[in-house]
Amino acid sequence: MCGRYASARKRHDLLEEFEVELDSAEELEPDYNVAPTKEVYAVLSRVPKVEGATRPVRQLRVLRWGLVPSWAKDPSIGSKMINARVETVADKPAFRRAFASRRCLLPADGYYEWMPTEQKRKQPYFIHRADGDVLAMAGLYEFWKDPEDDWLVTCTVITTTAEDELGHIHDRTPMLIQRDRWSQWLDPRFPDPKELLVPATGRGLVATPVSTAVNNVRNNGPELIEAVEAPLDL
Q: Which residues are catalytic?
A: 2, 113
Q: Please tell me the distance from the alpha carbon of residue 73 to that of residue 63, in angstroms, as a whole number.
A: 19
- Give backbone dihedrals phi and psi of 224, rounded to 5 degrees, phi first: -70, -25
User: Which residues are registered as beta bridge partners of 6?
Assistant: 110
Own/partner long-range contacts of 130-133 (Cβ < 8 Å, ≥24 apart): 130/204, 130/205, 130/206, 131/204, 133/204
Q: Are 232 and 14 in contact (CB under 8 A)?
A: no
Q: Are 126 and 210 in contact (CB under 8 A)?
A: yes
Q: Are 200 and 167 in contact (CB under 8 A)?
A: no
- Give backbone dihedrals phi and psi of 176, rounded to 5 degrees, phi first: -100, 135
Q: What is the DSSP string of 20-56?
A: -SEE--PPPPPEEEE-TTSEEEEEEEE--SSTT--S-
Q: Please tell me the distance from the alpha carbon of residue 66 to that of residue 56, in angstroms, as a whole number.
A: 24
C-beta neighbour count of 113 within 10 angstroms:
23
